[in-house]
Amino acid sequence: MVMDKKKILLTYIESGMGHITSIASIADNLKKFGEKFELIESYIMQEDNDKSLKNWENFIIKQTKNTNRIKGFGNFVFWFLWLMGGVRFMRGVHRCVFAKYLKHCLEAFKKRDPDVIVSTHYFLTFAALEYKRKVNPNVKVVTYNPDNNVHCWWDNRPHLFFVNNENAYYEAIGKRKFAPSCVKQVNYIARDDILNANLSREEYREKLGISKDKFCVVVADGVYACAKSKKITDELLKTDKDLTIVMLAGKNEKLFKYYNDLKDNGKVKKNIDLIVLPFTKNIYEYYKAADVFITKAGPNAILDSVFMGTPVLVDYYAHPIEKATTKLFVDTLQMGKAIYKPKKIKKQVEAWIEDGSELLLYEANTAKINKFENGGKELADLINRESELKEYPEAKSFYQNHLYQLASQGKFESYSTPINYKNVRKDVDYKRIIKPTFFGKIFNGIIKGILFIFAPLINFFGFGLKIKGRKNIKGIKKAITVSNHVHQIDCLWVMQILRGKKWAITGAPHNFKKGLGGAILKAGGLVPLPSAFSQSKEFCEYVRLKLAKKGFLHFYSEQALWLRYTQSRPYKKGAFYYATQNNVPVVPIVYCYRDSHKKKPKRVTAVVCEPIYPKKDLSERENAIYLMEEAQKVYDKTVVDFYGYDKETYDVRKMAIKK
């Protein structure tokens, strides 16, 4: 029996070499899966001779050139688009102003009918997600971001989004509001050409006809050579030192002709060897042959140079993407230097000709990134896994579909909403929470007073909150409560359920920031869970004291927030361990959304279930498991009964079916 191959569309676009080389590397690695996939490598804007798509790509190329040619243009564009709303504004602009080009792109996708679309460019990612939304909800969308940061143009709707460094990862899930479960960090991507380029500097100089006795620099600034490369080259041509200058003119034909005319007319000094190159596929060999690579801060060019073990000298950055690249490779990894004035660059090169010890340090640091630890292979493996995931067309949104996919993989603890780890307070004084200062008590009283008044109003008008089974906590003076975590402010629902009781609500440490925000949360009765094992003992003591004072302590026992999720998830053991340790009952609370016939249901019913007590004849460990299993049964049954799911087929790993 011959199985149909899944079609993977790898989209190429002319918008800087980084987009092209990255997708080429992904293609190289996917080919290793043999006959499993049908790979469609497509310059999708060009291949169909679609005039609209060609015009659109030319527009993108023009803007790429403008960011390098016009000083300040790139920074202004990024700032303006951020000011207008970032990704939401970009979606609106492309759907309205550029609707014609989007429509033609969707038609190009439809013609190829892929199962997976792989992109390295913001527009193709946006178009792929629109194709998923409008045409084929079963298509998988995968993005590799070749930059060293995550700018505000990237579409953050749920899809597999790859980054290549830690800073970009945290920027994606924090500042750019990607779901953490969608973002994966892989090693830097190296295409096969780079992986197979392993000759020494001397061997490449011999191969390329470059003098072994002269200091050698490669000067470039992207495929269009429209930034500072001419100014830098002109300045270096004035030196009296022995020097080889490899000038990469790229697709800039005027520049290529200009320097060749200089050579032909004998206007290059005898101490200088000038090599002028057009767009050159094996430019990485020249990087290795050189002592230093002088370039603008294009992520791909710098990465290729680092892969080849050659230090960089950054002469220009045009926008936040290139600024982040400079910061990473120069400031953080110490793989080169940044000098922005041509005369100073000439002086630095002359200094290195006399004493190259500084360059040796930079060269040694390039070994921090090993090209053989290839992110392309990781990425191909993850694309393979993604291609096997089931899509859920019945889901009302991308986000719901993503939640069902996580559930099918058993990743119930995965965070599906953005997290900002900046300014998290790591040191928690649990004793101070139990016994606040005099002024702390006043502040706590003010915040709790405000919540006492406004929480019920928010719950009623914002969520139509109905509470069922509140009688089940009547007469109980201390307990652990557990619930599903289905909204960012479902803590307000707990507050209303436990109104009249002494309560506290535990939360993930990343919610508690330094400054006023974190102070307000703690004053309002929210308590951070320990972020380190060393704090566990202090937290256990806090729990003991809280319950000893006849209070209620609430846990979100599923761990992660899954917004408006309407099925149950497995509980974690922690809350039940604390209940056993302190011999108090567990009261399950189940939040359910009433059907509002809208894309995002907002009406909430909170079901307070009967308390579950520890058994005297069980050990502490056995009791924790018993409480967790009993609470899980109650949770599952409540969800099945409320939504009318078929209890015979209900499974937390599968999309529930209604009777």
Residues 391, 442: one domain?
no
**Do 636 and 494 fall into the same domain?**
yes
Averaged over successive runs of 10 residues, the pLDDT of the chain (659 residues) comes to: 77 87 90 88 94 94 84 91 94 96 97 96 97 94 95 93 92 90 91 92 96 95 76 95 94 90 92 93 94 93 95 93 94 96 96 95 95 88 85 78 89 84 76 84 88 92 94 94 94 94 90 76 83 85 90 94 94 95 96 76 91 94 96 96 93 86
| CA atoms in the 13 A half-sphere facing the CB of 474 | 5
How far apart, in whole angstroms, are the C-alpha atoms of residue 227 and residue 249? 11
Q: Which residues contact 596 (CB under 8 A, 6 or more apart)?
A: 602, 603
CA distance 610 to 320: 55
Distances (CA, A) of 363 to 289, 312, 345, 471: 13, 9, 18, 71
Residues 576 and 448 occupy one common structural domain:
yes
Give the distance, in angstroms, between the CA of residue 165 and the centroid of all CA atoms in the same chain. Answer: 10
Contacts with 272 (C-beta within 8 Å, 6 or more apart), sequence order:
236, 237, 239, 242, 243, 244, 245
pLDDT on residue 15: 82
Q: What is the CATH number of the domain that holds 600?
A: 3.40.1130
Q: Are strands 604-608 and 586-593 parallel, antiparallel or unpaired?
A: antiparallel
- Residue 376: phi, psi to the nearest 5? -60, -40
Residue 187 DSSP code = P
CB atoms under 10 Å from CB of 409, counted, come to 13
Write the CB contacts of 584 (distance below 8 Å, at least 6 apart in sequence): 478, 479, 480, 547, 614
Residues 204 and 272 in one domain: yes
Which tokens hold the place of 216? 């050698």
Domain shared by 505 and 619, yes or no: yes
Closest CA to 100 of 76, 65, 127: 127
631 and 586 Cβ atoms separated by less than 8 Å: yes
Q: Are residues 112 and 179 in the same domain?
A: yes
- Quick check: is 360 in a domain? yes
For residue 353, being part of any structural domain is answered with yes
Inter-residue contact 138 to 7 (CB < 8 Å): no
* Burial per residue of 214-236, b for 16 or more beta-carbon CB atoms within 10 angstroms, e otherwise: bbbbbbbbbbbbbbbbbbbbebb
Domain region containing 540: 430-643
SS3 readout for 148-176: CCCCCCCCCCCCEEEECCHHHHHHHHHHC
Is this prediction's pTM over 0.85?
A: no
Report whether 482 contacts 631 (CB < 8 A): yes
Judge if 566 and 601 occupy the same domain.
yes
**130 and 245 fall within a common domain:** no
Q: What pLDDT is stored for residue 602 in this prediction?
A: 77
172: in domain: yes
Residue 417 resides in a domain? no
Q: Which two tokens stand for residue 535?
A: 């704090």
The DSSP bridge partners found for residue 161 are 143, 183
Q: What DSSP designation does 264 have?
A: H
Spatial distance between the Cα atoms of 15 and 313, rounded to a whole number of angstroms: 23
pLDDT at 632: 97
| Torsion sign across C-alpha atoms 193, 194, 200, 202 | positive
* Domain-embedded: residue 608: yes
The pair phi, psi for residue 95, each rounded to 5°, is -75, -25
The token pair that represents 328 in the structure block:
């990473």
Q: Are residues 109 and 226 in the same domain?
A: no
Inter-residue contact 21 to 300 (CB < 8 Å)? yes
**Total domain count for the chain?**
3
10 Å Cβ neighbour count for 92?
12
**Domain check: are 356 and 381 in the same one?**
no
**Does 229 share its domain with 324?**
yes
- Residue 12: which CATH number? 3.40.50.2000
pLDDT at 181: 87
Angle between helices 73-83 and 51-69 (to 10 degrees): 110
Tokens for 124?
């193709």
Does residue 654 form part of some domain?
no
Residue linked to tokens 């700032």: 79
Query: Is residue 419 in some structural domain?
Result: no
| DSSP code string of 2-23 | PPPPEEEEEE--SS-HHHHHHH
* Same structural domain, 363 and 385: no
- Does residue 307 sit within a domain? yes
